[in-house]
Amino acid sequence: MRIGQGIDVHAFSDDDGRELWLGLVHIPDAQGLVGHSDADVATHALCDALLGAANLGDLGRHFPDNDPAFAGASSRRLLEETVELLRADGYHVLSGDVTIMAERPKLVLFMPAMSHELSRVAGATISVKATTFEGLGAFGRGEGIGASAVVLIEVSA
């Protein structure tokens, strides 16, 4: 068995048309995040944790932010491809835990759907929770959203 940890952070976008995606779920009526792909910090942190656990590098190595092929890419695609990279290297996902760090929007109503979608793609239970920074720092000032993830994987039988 192997453990991996991932972190991702994106600032809020000034583009009113930019959608907010977190944990593969669209968050309606919320300000989107700046990013080359859909900027889903929760899914990106999970991908980084999975890649790290398998010693396969990081998200930027596999899906570079200067590659036009990934411009506006769905994080569902990135997670699917990450899980496939692990499978090809002989691993499968046992479990994961994602923490979203945001002052806004309130996410409690969306977390079950996030857990469901991430779990479905990863093929294992992925829990999702959220926390605020109580007004401290960049997150506390509402300048963006961050996420951290921890995963457990094992060599496939």
Q: How many CB atoms lie within 10 A of CB 18?
A: 17
3-class DSSP assignment, residue 109: coil
Residue 133 has pLDDT above 90, yes or no: no
Share of the chain above pLDDT 70, in %: 99
Cα-based angle 152, 155, 157 (whole degrees, multiple of 5): 125
Q: Is the dihedral of CA 32, 34, 36, 40 positive or negative?
A: negative
Q: What is the mean pLDDT of residues 8-22?
A: 94
Q: What is the pLDDT of residues 109-124, one digit of tens each?
A: 999 999 999 999 999 9
Per-residue pLDDT averaged across 24-51, rounded? 96
Residue 68 has pLDDT above 90, yes or no: no
Report field, pTM of the whole predicted structure over 0.85: yes
The whole-angstrom separation of Cα 1 and Cα 101 is 28
pLDDT of 19 above 90: yes
pLDDT of 102: 95
Q: What is the pLDDT of residue 104?
A: 93
Of 28-32, 63-67, 88-92, the range with the lowest mean pLDDT is 63-67
Confidence of residue 70 (pLDDT cuts 50, 70, 90): confident
Mean pLDDT of 69-82: 90
SS3 88: helix
- Domain-wise residue ranges, the chain: 2-155
- pLDDT the model gives residue 84: 97
What superfamily in CATH does domain 2-155 come from?
Answer: 2-C-methyl-D-erythritol 2,4-cyclodiphosphate synthase (3.30.1330.50)
